[in-house]
């Protein structure tokens, strides 16, 4: 059996004190649970306020973000119209594509750029015409 030098018994454990590996740090346990609850409630309130602020900042409706969303929606509409055209040419089932086209045409976001808004409106109009032709 091999002995290891400089290793002895563990020091006695003192409640409320934590000794770190790098150095000694003391974290006293709260003597009063009510005071500890009040202290954590203040932190929770501050965290909730800052979380609400961050969510509000993320939801800012900037013109470039609206244009991006409108462009994505327009591209999706054009893709659905292309799939519908292909399905009609090869005599496929257009029902799923018509449902997708309907959902895309109903919730088209307004673009901030007037030229983009006009183009998206024309694509939405074309989608509604196709839906009306097919009984959708």
> For 71-111, how does the pLDDT look when each residue is reduced to its tens digit (9 = 90+)?
999 999 999 999 888 888 888 778 888 888 888 888 767 88
In a domain, 127, yes or no: yes
In a domain, 124, yes or no: yes
Residue 105's pLDDT is what? 86
Structure tokens at 131: 């839906």
Contacts (Cβ under 8 Å, ≥6 apart) of 77: 101, 104, 105, 108, 120, 123, 124, 127
Confidence grade of residue 2 (pLDDT, cut at 50, 70, 90): low
What's the total number of domains in the chain?
A: 1
Residue 39's pLDDT is what? 67
Residue 64's pLDDT is what? 83
In a domain, 112, yes or no: yes
In a domain, 23, yes or no: no
In a domain, 77, yes or no: yes
Query: What's the rounded Cα separation, in Å, for the pair 91 and 121?
Result: 29
In a domain, 9, yes or no: no
Find the domain containing 123 and state its range.
Answer: 63-133
In a domain, 13, yes or no: no
Residue 111's pLDDT is what? 85
In a domain, 47, yes or no: no
Three-state DSSP class for 25? strand
Compute the C-alpha angle 46/52/55, nearest 5°. Answer: 140
């Amino acid at each position: 059996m091999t002995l290891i030098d400089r290793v002895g018994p563990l020091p006695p454990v003192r409640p409320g004190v934590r000794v770190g590996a790098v150095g000694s740090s003391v974290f006293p346990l709260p003597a009063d649970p009510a005071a500890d609850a009040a202290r954590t409630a203040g932190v929770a309130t501050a965290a909730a306020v800052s979380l609400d602020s961050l969510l509000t900042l993320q939801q800012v409706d900037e013109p470039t973000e609206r244009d991006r969303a409108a462009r994505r929606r327009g591209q999706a509409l054009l893709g659905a119209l292309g799939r519908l055209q292909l399905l009609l040419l090869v005599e496929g089932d257009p029902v799923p594509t018509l449902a997708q086209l309907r959902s895309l045409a109903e919730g088209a976001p307004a673009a901030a750029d007037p030229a983009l808004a006009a183009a998206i409106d024309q694509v939405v109009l074309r989608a509604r015409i196709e839906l009306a032709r097919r009984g959708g």
